[in-house]
Amino acid sequence: MSWKSYAAVSGATVLAGWLASTPPSNTSDGTASAPRQPAARADAASDIEREAERLRVRVQPEVEYAQPQRNPFRFGGARPNVDRGGDLAFTPPSAPPAAAVPVVAPPSVKLSGIAEDQKGQQMERTAILSSPSGVMLVREGDPVLGDYRVGRIESEAVELVKDDGTTLRLTLSKANSQ
């Protein structure tokens, strides 16, 4: 078939469909349509009320707030205890006991390297320390981070001595010594 025959068949189909359809009539046949029954509205209203009541019955009662069993944002939260009734009861974690003597954390210093310099018969060493405030080059007797001073520098370690006599020993890690 050519395009002309397709156009002719399509046109004939559209024309037949248009002629077969009946337009809506606007003329009245002389009989007045009866007004809607008010009973139908009453039935609809009662249907709605019946459905509303059914839904009201299905609503679950409001649940009282209960303390969560765990806090996902805190490690080592509440631990469960079994009471006499067999139900799990949760108790908040207890506070850690207060220390009698405050513990002072050692300074955050790391030994990065040791430089050696031969001065005649004597070996002079310089320690390279890394801290949050930067890199420090220190020798024996130099002050370090407030109340610490360099006590002794060995080939792979440094001893920092605090004013009260406590000693902090820093050693080179294997990664730094290679």
CATH number of the domain bearing residue 146: 2.30.30
Does the residue 160 lie in any domain?
A: yes
Does the residue 128 lie in any domain?
A: yes
Q: Is the pLDDT of residue 38 over 80?
A: no
Whether pTM > 0.85 for this model: the answer is no
Of 5-14, 77-86, 99-108, the poorest mean pLDDT is in 77-86
Beta carbons of 128 and 135 less than 8 angstroms apart: yes
The total number of structural domains that make up the chain: 1
Structural domain of 164: 110-177
Beta bridge partners, 152, equal 159
Does the residue 131 lie in any domain?
A: yes
- Average pLDDT of the segment spanning 60-67: 78
The rounded distance, in Å, linking the Cα atoms of 129 and 73 is: 36
Does the residue 24 lie in any domain?
A: no
> Among residues of the chain, what percentage have pLDDT more than 70?
66
The rounded distance, in Å, linking the Cα atoms of 149 and 126 is: 13
Beta carbons of 92 and 107 less than 8 angstroms apart: no
